[in-house]
Each structure stands twice: as C-alpha cells, then as structure tokens.
Structure 1
C-alpha cells in the first residue's frame, strides 16, 4: 500500500464542513494525524516498557516513549502531508524533511534498544556488569549509519558528506583533543578489561568501587559513599591496583610481635585456633582457606610474625581485622602471653 492509497483513507470528511478553505482543512488534517500518531507511538513506548519489565531477563531494557511518540508524529505527518496546500517544490522539501526525521529517529530508537540487548547478552555471557560506554558506542555507530541512510533516502549523495565529515573530523579532533582522548581511553578500558564495573581499584590517593565507565569519565564510589569522577585518560595513564583481578578473594596479612620469652609453637597454635574461630563467624571471610602463621624477624622488643587469612573481597578485611584484634588481645591476656610495646627510657644527667 503506497502513500497515495493510505492518504485516501485518511480523509476526514466532517472537517470539510467546518473548515471551508482548503488551506485550513489541509492544515487541520495534517495536525490531527501528527498528534494522533504521536499519542499512539507514546502508548506503544509505555507498553513496550511494561512488557520488558515483566520479564526478569529484559527488565533492564527500556524504550523512550517520547521518542517513539515523536517517530509516530513524523509518520503521521509524512502520510498526511499531501493535504497541505503547498506548491510542488514546497511539498517536496516538507516530505524530505519529514522522511529524514522518520528514518534517522527510527534508527536512533533502535540503537538504544539494540544497545540494551547487547549489554544484556554480554552480562549473561561474562557475568560482568557492562559499562555505559559499550551502549554509547553502539548508539553512536547505529545512529551514524541511520544518518547516512536518512540522507540517502531523501536523494542526497553521502559521498560528499563522508568527505566533508573526514575533513571536519580532523578539525574537530584538533579542537577536542581532550574529549577524544578520554573517549578512546574509555574504549581501551572497555576492550582491555583491566578495569570493570564493580571492581575495587586504587590509584594515586584514590580508591573505591568502579560504579560506571562513561564515554568521557569513570565514576568511582568510595567507601564513604562519595563519587569520584575521573577522566578516562587519567586512568589509562596511572598505575592502578585492581583488587578484583585476577580473583576477588585476597589474603589479609595481620602483623604484630610477641615477647622473646614466649613459646613460639604455643603462640602459633593459639593464633591458628583463634583465626579459625573468627573466620567461621565473620561474613565475608574465605572459609575454604586455612589460616597460617609465619615468623618474620627478630625485632627491637619482640619476635615479628604475620597471621594470614583470606577474605572474599577487599572491603571484608576491615571487619575480620577488627575481630582478630579483639580476640587475640582477650586470649593472650588469659594465657599471659606478652605483646611487647615500645618503651622509652629518659635519663636526666645531674651536672651539679
């Protein structure tokens, strides 16, 4: 069914009795169907979101009801534009503008949905939370393809456009070096997977969970709840410790010393007993790992040692160290085991 056939079915005869002039009648029909199709598109957008959210696997997918309604408005305007009382040349211009918007907006809407679908696929395959830059790259690529097709659909050759864009890209690249550097750095972070959404990282004087990676910046949430916004180029040029790679679980080395007079075998046995008890009680402790004690050196006032346990991830170490300090202090007091501390002897010389 072509546009002419569709247009014949759109005639609102009763409006002809209200608006006597052809110009007014055509404008009203054009406006009526534009608004009608906008409403239909808006309702379709809301319905799609309802359907997506009703399934666990697709609840992260979202459609923009306003954009779908806008696409519907372009559709209604395109199929009813023949009712506008315009010259032939004006009709051609109006139809081309509407068709351009119809094609480009359609691709843009699809790019957002495809971006969400690919993000879901990546998450299901890798069990990792995909970053925002992945969807942003997909949206930019598909929207750019849609832009070229939109130009082609209205009879404009895209070859000169590509040439112009090539020259323009060089000029824009020189003017926006920092922005492009951050975008490429973000893409590198995405591809290399050295930093992922949800990882706990430390660089310079900052540390925290990677909340999201955007096309220009990376957001890092600190343990205090604040968000640090870091340019992507700074991340790729910094030395970073990722506490979730290669595994999330990590060793916690708790170091202190005991007095020289203590029985080291007895101390080692007590510490392993205490550590096993704490590990069994504390959430976040790696219960599959056997605690170990290693003596390291002879210190100034005691024998230095390290108690090693494992936790499931970086932040769990704080609670287990807290509990270990309390338990070791209490047990050592009961067993009369000395934890030496530094003392200072002050000698006052009497010159009289």
Structure 2
C-alpha cells in the first residue's frame, strides 16, 4: 500500500511539473566556433597573399628581370584574394548576411552609383590591363611621357600598380602617374634601341681647314671608350653664322646614361686638341682702349656739369618771383588829353 501511494505521488508530481514547466533561460555568450572559423579564413587569406608575393619575387629572381606584366598581375591577384577572403570571413556573421541581403536587393542602384563615383578608378584599372598587355615599356627602362607636346615625366620606370605607374626622374624625384594618363599619352622608350645618338655642335672660324678639323674630331670619337660605332659618324657643316662655320655630328653610346658623360669628354678633348692644332673657336670679345675711355669720361663729365649749371636755380629765390608777371604791377595807360575850346 505504501509503495502504491509513493508511486502515485511521484506520478502526480511529474504531472504537476509538466503542467507548470520552468521557462528555459537562453544564455548569451561568445560563439567561439564562429570566431575560430573567421580567424582560419583570414589566416588562409593572408597566407595565400604571402605565397603569391613570394612566388612572383622568385620568378623575378629566376628571370633576373622585373616584368611590368608580372607586377600588374601580382597587384590584381593580391587585391582579388584579399577582397574574397575578407568577404568570406565577414559572411559568417548574421549582421553581415543581413547587409548582404539588403545590398543584393538594391544592387542595380548601388552598381550605378558606384560606377559613377569610381569611374576614374575603373578607368585606371582598365588602362593598367591595356599597358600590361601591350608592354610599351618595362621595369627598369628609361621612358619619356608626352601629352599634348608637353613632357609630363622622363625617367626610369620603377613600379606599376592597379592605379598608377611610378617613374623615377634624373633629379631624384618620383612621379606617380595614373594609368589612364599614361595610356592616353605618347610614350617614348629610350631603352629599346641598341645605340643612342646625341648631337654635338662645334663652331670654328671661317679660316679653318675643315678637313683637318674633321680628322681631329673623328680621332677623338674613335679613342673615346664610351663611344660606339664611331665609323658611321658624319661630320657636317650645319650652318654659317656671323662668327664662323657650325660643325655638327652624332655621338653614339650604348644607353642614354652613358651619353652625357661621353659628350662631355668629347667636348673637352675638342677644345684641347683644337688649341694644339691652332684651330680657332670664335667667341665674342670686347676691346677697351684706356686712353680713349679716359677722354670720353672727361668729356661726359664736362657736359654734365654744363647742363647742371644751365638748370641751376637763382641764388635769391625772391628775385625769381619778382620777375613773374603776377607780382609786377600792371602798366598804367596814359589818360587821353582833354580837348580845349
């Protein structure tokens, strides 16, 4: 009997508990699994970017040359991997999913606004693809960028990114030019030719033996170590000036950087060798005769003194005013005589 009552009470208690259940409290805590997943995605993203950069760095070492195409493709690949990785990591959160849904619902309007706002940036990216595919220049080459007849930049190409091209000039300044500007400009590549020609002009007197001067210049070109292909150089009389004849010839070097030093050496040796051969290089002179200069100076001083004496004011300023007709009495006219009867 006791056992049955106990069982009944247990059954009744269980039924009471089922009728009035205790509400379940949901604990708010940190979702460590979600954070771990986000960290793994970000870690894989950054490791992928690191290995991509290392791959291109090793490729440049093997080829011993930095390619403009490789540099641009590395920038595009790095940016794409970073965007995909960050989007995948943020997509695990509920708030990011809600934002993505909202963005997708208004995607047409957002695309139109983004395209209008970033049209210059998109133009630079498209121009970068055009430059990397056509390859008008490469990393380490010397170029000149002209737009409308004006030289924008002249120097060595150091880098190319998704947005711009980096050009280092001879004075040490770095020009960062957008890809769209480079793509629409005239690019003069100074590194492609096998040789670079720089013209040098020398003026000689009319009494000079031209053939003798040509032989001296040709000998200088042949013995200059930086000059190449001296045999194909032609020394021509390009103009007749008021002082003499103008000789013009080309100095050929391997690249533009050697051209400055080679032309400097050639000019210096021409002055020295022409002086030894008594070939006159005319220049303007001024001859002054000391005796004539003293006489002319004395005459000018005397003329200036005479001019000052003529314009000198009177010693007594009152005398000058007395002569003024405003201060003098008007002349009295004689009265007419009366007629006498």
Whether the TM-score (by the shorter chain) exceeds 0.5 is yes
Q: 2:240 aligns with which of 299, 311, 319?
A: 299
Deviation per CA, 1:60-119: give whole Å up to 9, x if none.
Answer: xxxxxxxxxxxxxxxxxxxxxxxxxx979967x542343134124313321232233135
3-state SS of the aligned residue for 1:197?
coil
Partner SS state of residue 206, structure 2: coil
Q: Contact between 1:272 and 1:291, CA under 8 Å: does it hold in 2?
A: no
Tell me the alpha carbon deviations over residues 268-317 of structure 1, each in whole angstroms, 9 at most, x when there is no partner. Answer: 22111112222x2xxxx254654613314342243333222222222222
Between the aligned partners of 2:102 and 2:159, the Cα distance in structure 1 is: 35
Measured at CA, do residues 187 and 169 of structure 1 come closer, stay the same or move farther in structure 2, by a change above 3 Å? farther
SS in 2 for 1:293: coil
- Secondary structure at the counterpart of residue 255 of structure 1: strand
2:72 matches 1:133: yes
Q: Distance in 2 between matches of 1:256 and 1:152?
A: 74
Choose from 120, 130, 133 the match for 1:191. Answer: 133
Alignment check: 8 A CA contact 2:251 2:263 kept: no
Matched with 2:186 is 239
Asked whether the 8 Å contact 2:227–2:262 carries over to 1, the reply is: no
Classify the secondary structure of the residue corresponding to 2:158: strand
- Mapped partners of 1:287, 1:293: distance in 2: 14
Q: 1:308 to 1:206 in 2, by over 3 A?
A: same
Kindly report which structure 2 residues correspond to 1:125-274, keeping only aligned pairs within 5 A, or say none: 125=63, 127-130=65-68, 132-146=71-85, 167=108, 168-203=110-145, 204-244=151-191, 246-247=192-193, 249-274=195-220
- After superposition, residues 5-24 of structure 1 pair within 5 angstroms as none
* Alpha-carbon RMSD: 3.7
Partner of 2:52: 114
Equivalent-residue separation in structure 1 for 2:165 and 2:106 (angstroms)? 29
- From 37, 51, 62, the counterpart of 1:99: 37
Contact 2:238–2:248 (Cα < 8 Å) also in 1: no
Which 10-residue stretch deviates more, 117-126 or 254-263?
117-126
Q: CA deviation at 1:146?
A: 4.2
User: Cα–Cα, structure 1 residues 208 and 248, in superposed 2: closer, same or farther, change >3 Å?
Assistant: farther
Return 5+ residue gaps in structure 2 as ranges: 1-24, 146-150, 287-341
More helix by share: 1
Q: Where does structure 1 lack aligned partners over 5 or more consecutive residues? A: 1-85, 345-352
CA distance in 1, matches of 2:125, 2:205: 57
Q: Is the 8 A contact 1:179 1:216 kept in 2?
A: yes
SS at match of 2:58: helix
Deviation at 1:331, TM superposition (A): 0.4
For these two proteins, the number of residue pairs brought into alignment is 251
